[in-house]
């Protein structure tokens, strides 16, 4: 048995025997943490013979995926136990609350459901978590540096115009994308990092069927040694096929973004979608521009993100757009109108 296989078996046994969430987190850090047993094998890859690297690399990925999946499964079991315990205290034989109109009887309680955007967000996060991405968060109110300068966006760029961005009287602004969280993450932690940043973004768009002044994104960032376009494509292809179906075709087309080079737009085509054989644009992505790393280094006061050593990819997904495509919703304004006739369709 290969040592990695033994490591996998040991990890799975320890995860399965974890008695509580604290023990599970300790096991996760022990095996998947930055200095964990699985992660240390990634460092050992450099010392292997050339003919061994593909074999061990494949096995290492399988072990990492198996351990990550086991952690997620055990965590879900603990969450289910908590929910069951909370529900166990509720007497479901009690009638519903009395109506506010003075009616002496009892009104039936309607079953609620998650908003379609929340469903889309949770589904997307779950897919990325399975690939090892951690969640990162940041403020909605930002400054020019985090929103533009650090992302290699020049002063003359249209996005910096007051006609496109909501500026506050003190010069701060409502973030136009959640890429700001990527910058804050790099400021606070050295590489390697693998994060997604879900949240709201704001732009001065004319509100119509496909545009809104507030929308929702998930942006991702992965920085490590030797990260390539192949890693980016593999990540987004897996996500799109998990979201839209295994037969989904994914296409990458050259584009321009100031913070990535090369930059790629992502298109999908799936028989499961109403538009069928039509290519649909769903995301922007690319390899992180060295100028972004240099800006972060300057802010940190070190060379932690030396572009000669580290590379990375970034991507951005619009949750509203993905939900409209997946659920065949014709008008983005429906998300914010709180019309029960619309929301009940997702119960």
For the segment 77-95, the average pLDDT, to the nearest whole number, is 77
Using alpha carbons only, give the angle 87, 93, 99 rounded to the nearest 5 degrees. Answer: 100
Question: Which residues on adjacent β-strands are paired with residue 63?
Answer: none
The pair of three-digit structure tokens given for residue 163, joined into one six-digit string: 């006609």
**Per-residue confidence at 163, pLDDT binned at 50, 70, 90?**
low
Residue 285's closest CA among 309, 308, 319, 251? 251
The CA-to-CA distance between both ends of the chain, in Å, stands at 49
What was the pLDDT predicted at 333?
93
Rounded to the nearest angstrom, the gap between the alpha carbon of residue 38 and the centroid of all alpha carbons in its chain is: 23
Rounded to the nearest angstrom, the gap between the alpha carbon of residue 41 and the centroid of all alpha carbons in its chain is: 25
Cα(177)–Cα(317) distance, integer angstroms: 10
What was the pLDDT predicted at 99?
47
The pair of three-digit structure tokens given for residue 297, joined into one six-digit string: 């280094």
Walk across the sheet containing 249-257 and list its strands: 134-135, 193-202, 214-224, 311-318, 280-288, 260-269, 249-257
The pair of three-digit structure tokens given for residue 176, joined into one six-digit string: 């136009």
What was the pLDDT predicted at 101?
47
What was the pLDDT predicted at 6?
87
Cα(279)–Cα(275) distance, integer angstroms: 8
Are 37 and 96 a contacting pair, CB within 8 Å? no
Tell me the per-residue pLDDT of 177-209, one tens digit each, with 9 for 90 and over: 999 999 999 999 999 999 999 999 999 888 999
Q: Which helix (H) or strand (E) holds 269?
A: strand 260-269
Contacts for 294 with CB less than 8 Å, ≥ 6 apart:
307
Residue 32's closest CA among 76, 79, 72, 77? 72
Using alpha carbons only, give the angle 329, 331, 334 rounded to the nearest 5 degrees. Answer: 90
Is the pLDDT confidence value at 102 over 70?
no
Q: Among 24-38, 135-149, 234-248, which stretch is predicted with the lowest mean pLDDT?
A: 24-38
Q: Mean pLDDT over all residues of the chain?
A: 88
The pair of three-digit structure tokens given for residue 236, joined into one six-digit string: 């987004």
The pair of three-digit structure tokens given for residue 125, joined into one six-digit string: 């996060």
Residue 208's closest CA among 324, 326, 342? 324
- pTM of full prediction above 0.75: no
Contacts for 60 with CB less than 8 Å, ≥ 6 apart:
4, 38, 41, 42, 45
Is the pLDDT confidence value at 82 over 60?
yes
Are 74 and 25 a contacting pair, CB within 8 Å? no
The pair of three-digit structure tokens given for residue 239, joined into one six-digit string: 């996500």
């Amino acid at each position: 048995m290969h040592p990695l296989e033994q490591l996998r078996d040991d990890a799975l046994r320890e995860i399965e025997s974890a008695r509580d969430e604290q023990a599970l987190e300790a096991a996760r850090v022990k095996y998947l943490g930055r200095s964990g047993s699985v992660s240390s094998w990634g460092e050992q890859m450099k010392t292997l013979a050339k003919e061994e690297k593909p074999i061990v690399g494949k096995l290492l990925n399988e072990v990492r995926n198996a351990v990550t999946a086991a952690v997620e499964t055990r965590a879900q079991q603990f969450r289910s136990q908590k929910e069951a315990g909370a529900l166990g205290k509720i007497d479901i034989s009690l009638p519903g609350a009395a109506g506010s109109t003075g009616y002496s009887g009892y009104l039936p309680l309607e079953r609620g459901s998650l908003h379609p955007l929340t469903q889309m967000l949770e589904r997307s996060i779950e897919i990325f978590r399975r690939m090892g991405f951690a969640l990162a968060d940041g403020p909605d109110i930002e400054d020019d540096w985090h929103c533009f300068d650090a992302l290699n966006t020049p002063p003359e760029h249209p996005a910096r115009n007051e006609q496109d961005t909501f500026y506050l009287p003190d010069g701060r602004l409502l973030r136009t994308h959640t890429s700001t969280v990527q910058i804050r993450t790099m400021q606070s932690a050295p590489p390697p990092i693998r994060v997604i940043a879900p949240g709201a973004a704001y732009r001065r768009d004319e509100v119509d069927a496909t545009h809104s002044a507030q929308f929702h994104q998930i942006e991702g960032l992965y920085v490590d040694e030797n990260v390539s376009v192949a890693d980016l494509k593999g990540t987004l292809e897996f996500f799109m096929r998990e979201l839209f179906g295994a037969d989904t075709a994914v296409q990458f087309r050259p584009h321009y973004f100031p913070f990535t080079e090369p930059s790629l737009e992502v298109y999908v085509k799936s028989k499961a979608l109403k538009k069928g054989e039509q290519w649909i644009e769903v995301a922007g992505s690319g390899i992180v521009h060295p100028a972004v790393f240099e800006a972060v280094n300057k802010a940190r006061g070190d060379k932690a993100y030396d572009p000669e050593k580290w590379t990375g990819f970034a991507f951005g997904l619009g949750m509203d757009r993905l939900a409209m495509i997946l659920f065949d919703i014709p008008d983005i304004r429906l998300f914010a109108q709180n019309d029960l006739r619309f929301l009940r369709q997702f119960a």
